[in-house]
Every structure is written in structure tokens, then in C-alpha cells.
Amino acid sequence: MDRARAASSGRTGVGSCSTHGLVEGVKTAPPRSFPFVVYLARRVAVRRGPYRCPMCGEPLAPTGEVAPPAGAADLHESVGAAETTRAPRAMIAPSGGEASAVRVRGLVKSYAGEPAVRGIDLDIGRGEIFALLGPNGAGKTTTVEILEGYRTRDGGEVSVLGRDPGRERAHLKPQVGIVLQSTGVERYLTVAETVTMYAGFYPHPRPVDAVIDLVGLDAKRDERVIRLSGGQQRRLDVAVALVGDPDLLFLDEPTTGFDPSARHEAWDVIKNLALLGKTVLLTTHYMDEAQFLADRVAVIARGLIVAEGPPATLGHRDRARVRVRYVLPPGVSAPAGLGGPPGADGFTEVSVDDPAQALHQLTGWAIDNGFSLDGLEVTRPSLEDVYLSLTAAVDSSEPDAKLARGSQEA
């Protein structure tokens, strides 16, 4: 029983039962079970739940409220009044009141004298999905850990939700959610028990049922974690990060190792977060993931931000030369200015500034001569092409060269 503990903490179990009137409620501890964490999660759920009538088990209405007569709940439900409304969240006011969720100026970090982050600047707007791209060892993880407050910086200014994560981490913790590459969620708990347990760690959590529904696990709420698929487990990871109602979420390579179906399921969940007005900082090695999810991306290489902008225009890829590829019949040469010798795959390839004019000339030549242009492709550089070009340029330069943001975006 929790009655004695409640009384000693200044809380009482007195409430109003619709059948028995004013009674002293009880909270019956769940039977002990194995593993212990399952018992612990169920006990947390009981403690967070309402006091109940010791005679009929009905949840008690708080004192000062009149319990509805029997049958009234059906009437309320019919007019939509049975929906529970949670108390307004007591928001922690940002100290600076900036519009940016994340603001970084001149961030520097070294390990044993070897620079990992070389004075980067970064701005992430509130409600934005922002992707940080870069090869292994580029400084992504160090930068993100500094923003999360888990690693100290050597220099520079950092503001996360208006606060310094290095000095005010305690104030930021209720406002930040983190999804790591792998998590240690107890596999013998159910989905509902897991989310309920983590909700108990926050002062103003979101409703558990609403979070489970948001991540698409409503049909699996009573399923044990061990029985979930990889994509469903990733949805649960997001639910755990979201249940505290954070304003900013860090997603570290959220779909690594997923099959295509599971990846798209996870993408849908992340897109839903934007509808809630959440700010998301995403790190990933998948360019199509960044292309699909991010409002803006930044490429980091050798500890420097070398390009930043929307995925569709990063590195001015929207204005880059267009690549035209096609296969000619055997023994036929391409028209002047529109190709050369075919490559190992049999394709003739040419880059042009005016694709409309080039295609008009090429297809007109083919029609006039009765040739087919098998496998005709017209493409601009992909986000992956731009990424590889940017990181290769940094790798080939002097390690200590100072690269201005966007200097490769010519």
C-alpha cells in the first residue's frame, strides 16, 4: 500500500467515489514479477495513477470535485466531454529569447592537442529539421555531444534553447530528447509500460497514450519489446525521447541497419515531429534520408562547416551542369559537342549548361538518322555527389586551411 507514504509526504488518498461517497483511497502495489524492472515499471504506473475505492476499485475523484453519478460517464463520452486535458506545461523561459533553437559561434574542441572541431558557426531555427552530414572523424559526434551538454568545449559560444549546455544542463534536460543509435530499453516490458516508466522521469510529460499513437505503436501497446520488429523498436526509441515533451530532439543515425520498409516507417515518425513544432537535429550517413527529411543540411569535414543550405540547393547543385547519358547503336558516333567515346558501361556521357537545347539537338539528330537513344538519362548532381565533392576537396587541402562557409558552393 502507498497510503502511509502518501500521508507522510503531505498527500492524501481521500477522494469521492460515485457509489460509496467520500472514502480514503488506496493504491495496491502490483505483485512482484521477474525481471525486476517489469515490476518496477508497473509500480511506477500504479503510483502515477489515481487512488481507488477500497470497496469497488473505482478511480476516485479529487476532493472538492463532485463525483459523477453512475452512468454519467456514458453521457459525457457521447458529447465528447470525457477527454482528459493535461495541465499546461510550465515552460522554462529561454534566457536570451532568440528565435534560434541552436546557435553556435566559433566552437572549438581538441583531443590531446589534435583539433576535432575548428571554430564552426551554426544556426538551427525553432521547428526546423536540420541534418548534420560528414564522414567518420569529421567532428559530428563531438559537436552534437557539446550541444547535448555531455561534453565540454575548449572555446566558442553555444546556446541551446537560449541556454548554455555546458553550464545550464540541468535546466535543459527536461527540454531535450535524445535518440541514440542503440538504446537499452528493457526488452521484457511492454510498449505501454516502457513509455509510462520514462514518463515518470519528467515533470510535465506528454500523455502516454498520445505518444504511443503518435509513433504508430497503438496496436502494439501491450506487446513486449522483445517481440517488436526493428522499425517498431526505433519507433519506441522515439516515443521514449518524446514522452518528456522536449522542444529539441537529437537523432543520431536513426535508421542505421534498417531495411527499406523500416527506414520509411521511421521517416514518417520523424516527419510527424515537425507537425508538433519540435526542432530536430539529425545526423546520418544516408543522403536520401537527409534529402527527404531535412529543411536544411550542413556538411562538416575536418572539424569545419564547408557547406550549408537546403538539400535541393546545397553547393548550388540546382544550377550545376546537367549530365546527359545515353547508349548509341553499335558503330554510331555521337554528334559533335554532345558526347565522346562510350564508357565501360556502354553509356556516352556529356555535361551541358542548357539541357533543353542539348536534348533538342540530340533527339533531333537521332530522329533524323533513325537511331534510338537507349537508356537516355538527364540528371543534375545528387546530394551525394555534392557531399563527396565537398569532403574530397577538404581532404585534399591542407589540414589547417581555414575554409569559409560555402566557399565550395561555387
- Can you give the pLDDT of all 410 residues of the chain as single tens digits? 444 444 333 344 677 777 777 777 777 666 655 555 565 666 666 666 677 777 777 777 766 544 444 443 443 333 333 333 333 333 333 344 457 899 999 999 999 989 999 999 999 999 999 999 998 888 999 999 999 999 999 999 999 999 999 999 888 888 998 888 776 788 889 999 999 999 988 888 989 998 898 888 999 999 999 998 877 888 888 889 889 989 999 998 888 777 788 788 888 888 888 888 889 999 988 899 999 999 999 999 999 999 899 998 887 777 777 888 888 888 888 888 887 788 888 888 888 888 888 888 888 888 988 888 888 888 888 888 888 888 887 766 644 444 444 443 43
Q: How many C-beta neighbours within 10 Å does residue 405 have? A: 16
Instruction: Give the residue ranges of DSSP H helices in 276-319.
Output: 287-293
**Rounded Cα–Cα distance for residues 352 and 241 (Å):** 47
Which one-letter amino acid corresponds to residue 104? Answer: V
Burial label, 395 (beta-carbon count in 10 A; 0-12, 13-18, 19+): exposed
| Domains by residue range for the chain, with CATH | 3-73 (no CATH), 100-314 (3.40.50.300), 321-379 (no CATH)
Residues found in the chain: 410
